[in-house]
């Protein structure tokens, strides 16, 4: 009876997880969806505590209390701008937890079945790579690791590590008593996780984080196979599917394949794209001031704001909202154009704007807003570069060729707030800055926007 009841509770929890995710399909129902997910987790935990195999509760109590304390502090203290870091490190925690559970199961089970050994090996490999990969991603996002570490033969080396892991996993399957095989594999997989992510640069982080998100789910699902536990399998595969879809969306938004992100390096050098800075910029850059932009606002009826990573770094989202409020008071229509890979994780810009109390209906996705730039009087680009580079449409050989971009250059006037003419992550010049209808407003995003606010108030 006990087991049946527990499994029934797991079924209810699985359904709640699914309904919870379904709630996330609209901002109106999203909070409720998340609550359902949390309830599902609570139910699964309570049901598990009824399991007869649990004999002592002291370690459980310690573990839960420590985990809850750390989790609550993390969740309450983290600033919205650091959300990519938080998600990265949490991905890693999920991964390592799966590995440890699989390892413990291997110790506890006598005469393990093939299902158990195969899935333990899978969980060990995926979970460990997730943990170390996420840790490296975390330190890259924190800018503790700034250099891209690349060396000749890197792909060959990674391939070798992968084969070694699979070989060690095979050893475990053939000789289930060989606990060493598992732990050696975990060590090799640790190195593999680090090596996979060290060569990847900041702007590719949305893909990496989405992919690791998927992996953390798959590791949990593999652990579900180890324990023959359906709620783990279901919840894990939902997360695996979610991460895979996000990875795919991010790759498409950069016109790159997943393999290219992980193994292709940072892309061609500036010289390879065939256009130099001087050719593009010489004599064509028009610099502007806050007062001049305020005058442009005077005659504008529709303004589109294009936020990029520069806005996040400068924490300028509140200033941007203030500016938009002022413009709306003057009956100017304001919308925000969000490129899928703007920032460091999927949806990064939306969260920052939501924090600054921008209505979600004003954040418009790329395909929809691109149709409106021709009727836009002024596009205000704040700290974005590659995602508005028209070379993506025109030049077929450059590193961003074919990448879908926001067509800001089609609006009547473009004002670009940027610190300098330095290239974006792709390392190529941006002809937008030199276009006839473009004005450069040099400065840090926050100060520049605050200057604009003052200028608009005075005009």
Partner 1 sequence: MEVFVAALTVFVLAVFIGFEIITKIPPTLHTPLMSGSNAISGVTLVGALLSAGSEYSALATYLGLAALVFATINAVGGFMVTHRMLSMFKRRD
d(CA 107, CA 109): 6
SS3 of residue 437 by DSSP: coil
d(CA 260, CA 269): 15
CB of 99 to partner 1, least distance (A): 8
Q: Does 216 engage in binding with partner 1 (CB under 8 A)?
A: yes
Provide the pairing of β-strand 363-365 with 378-382: unpaired
Residue among 110 and 396 whose Cβ is closer to partner 1: 110
- Span near partner 1 by CB under 8 A; candidates 18-26, 390-398, 429-437, 448-456: 18-26
Burial 328-338 (b: 16+ CB within 10 A, else e): eeeebbbbbbb
Provide the pairing of β-strand 438-442 with 413-418: parallel
Q: Does 225 engage in binding with partner 1 (CB under 8 A)?
A: yes
CB of 66 to partner 1, least distance (A): 5
Q: Does 398 engage in binding with partner 1 (CB under 8 A)?
A: no
Among residue numbers 239 through 268, which ones bind partner 1 (CB under 8 A)?
A: 239-243, 245-246, 249
Pick from 427, 403, 426, 405: which is nearest to 255 by CA?
403
Give the binding-site size for partner 1 (rule: CB under 8 A): 114
Assess whether 386 carries a catalytic annotation: yes
Q: Does 348 engage in binding with partner 1 (CB under 8 A)?
A: yes
SS3 of residue 438 by DSSP: strand
At 219, phi and psi to the nearest 5? -65, -40
Q: Does 112 engage in binding with partner 1 (CB under 8 A)?
A: no
Out of 136, 141, 185, 231, name the contact with partner 1 by CB under 8 A.
231
- Span near partner 1 by CB under 8 A; candidates 67-75, 169-177, 303-311, 412-420: 67-75
SS3 of residue 333 by DSSP: strand
162 by Cβ neighbours in 10 Å (0-12 / 13-18 / 19+) ranks as middle
Q: Does 357 engage in binding with partner 1 (CB under 8 A)?
A: yes
Sequence-distant (≥ 6) Cβ neighbours of residue 58 within 8 angstroms = none
d(CA 260, CA 200): 10
- Do the Cβ atoms of 230 and 366 come closer than 8 Å? no
Q: Does 103 engage in binding with partner 1 (CB under 8 A)?
A: yes
d(CA 201, CA 217): 24
Q: Which residues pair with 418 in a beta bridge?
A: 442
Q: Does 220 engage in binding with partner 1 (CB under 8 A)?
A: yes
Q: Does 22 engage in binding with partner 1 (CB under 8 A)?
A: yes
Q: Does 327 engage in binding with partner 1 (CB under 8 A)?
A: no
- Span near partner 1 by CB under 8 A; candidates 165-173, 236-244, 299-307, 416-424: 236-244
Q: Does 55 engage in binding with partner 1 (CB under 8 A)?
A: yes
Q: The tokens 């900041």 sit on which residue?
A: 202
Out of 224, 424, 429, 443, name the contact with partner 1 by CB under 8 A.
224
CB of 227 to partner 1, least distance (A): 5
Structure tokens at 140: 């890259």
Largest CA distance in the chain: 82
CB of 372 to partner 1, least distance (A): 17
Q: Does 161 engage in binding with partner 1 (CB under 8 A)?
A: no
Residue among 105 and 275 whose Cβ is closer to partner 1: 105
Q: Does 83 engage in binding with partner 1 (CB under 8 A)?
A: yes
Question: Catalytic residue among 386, 395, 409, 451, which?
Answer: 386
Q: Does 17 engage in binding with partner 1 (CB under 8 A)?
A: yes
Pick from 456, 253, 236: which is nearest to 348 by CA?
253
Out of 3, 7, 8, 31, name the contact with partner 1 by CB under 8 A.
31
Residue among 105 and 326 whose Cβ is closer to partner 1: 105
Residues carrying an active site annotation:
386
């Amino acid at each position: 009876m006990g087991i049946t009841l527990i499994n029934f509770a797991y079924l209810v929890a699985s359904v709640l997880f699914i309904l919870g995710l379904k709630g996330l399909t609209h901002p109106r129902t999203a909070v409720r969806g998340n609550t359902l997910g949390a309830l599902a987790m609570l139910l699964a935990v309570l049901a598990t505590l009824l399991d007869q195999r649990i004999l002592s509760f002291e370690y459980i109590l310690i573990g839960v209390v420590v985990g809850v304390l750390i989790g609550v502090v993390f969740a309450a203290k983290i600033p919205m701008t650091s959300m990519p870091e938080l998600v990265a490190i949490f991905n890693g925690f999920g991964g390592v937890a799966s590995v440890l559970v699989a390892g413990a199961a291997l110790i506890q089970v006598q005469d393990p079945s093939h299902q158990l050994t195969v899935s333990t090996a899978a969980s060990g490999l995926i979970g460990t790579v997730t943990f170390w990969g996420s840790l490296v991603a975390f330190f890259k996002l924190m800018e503790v690791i700034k250099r891209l570490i690349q060396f000749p033969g890197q792909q060959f080396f990674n391939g070798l590590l992968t084969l070694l892991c699979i070989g060690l996993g095979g050893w475990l399957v053939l000789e289930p008593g060989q606990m060493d095989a598992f732990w050696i594999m975990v060590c090799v997989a640790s190195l593999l996780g680090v090596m996979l992510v060290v060569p990847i640069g900041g702007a590719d982080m949305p893909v990496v984080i989405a992919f690791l998100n998927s992996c953390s789910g798959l590791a949990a699902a593999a652990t579900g196979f180890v324990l023959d536990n359906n709620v783990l399998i279901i919840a894990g595969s939902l997360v695996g599917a979610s991460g895979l879809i996000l990875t795919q969306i991010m790759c498409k938004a950069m016109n790159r394949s997943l393999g290219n992100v992980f193994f292709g390096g940072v892309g061609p050098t500036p010289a390879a794209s065939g256009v130099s800075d001087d050719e593009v910029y010489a004599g064509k850059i028009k610099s502007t001031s806050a007062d001049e932009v305020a005058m442009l606002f005077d005659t504008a009826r529709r303004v589109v704001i294009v936020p990029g990573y520069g806005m996040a770094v400068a924490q300028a989202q509140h200033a941007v909202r203030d500016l938009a409020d002022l413009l709306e008071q003057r009956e100017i229509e304001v919308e925000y154009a969000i490129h899928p890979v703007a920032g460091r994780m999927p949806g990064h810009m939306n969260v920052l704007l939501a924090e600054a109390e921008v209505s979600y209906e004003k954040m418009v996705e790329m395909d929809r807003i691109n149709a409106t730039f021709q009727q836009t009087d002024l596009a205000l680009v704040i700290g974005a570069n590659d995602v508005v580079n028209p070379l993506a449409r025109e030049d077929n050989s450059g590193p961003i060729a074919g990448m879908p971009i926001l067509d800001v250059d089609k609006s009547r006037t473009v004002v670009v707030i940027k610190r300098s003419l330095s290239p974006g992550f792709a390392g190529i010049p941006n002809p937008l800055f030199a276009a006839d209808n473009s004005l450069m407003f040099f400065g840090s995003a926050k100060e520049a926007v605050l200057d604009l606010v003052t200028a608009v108030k005075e005009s």
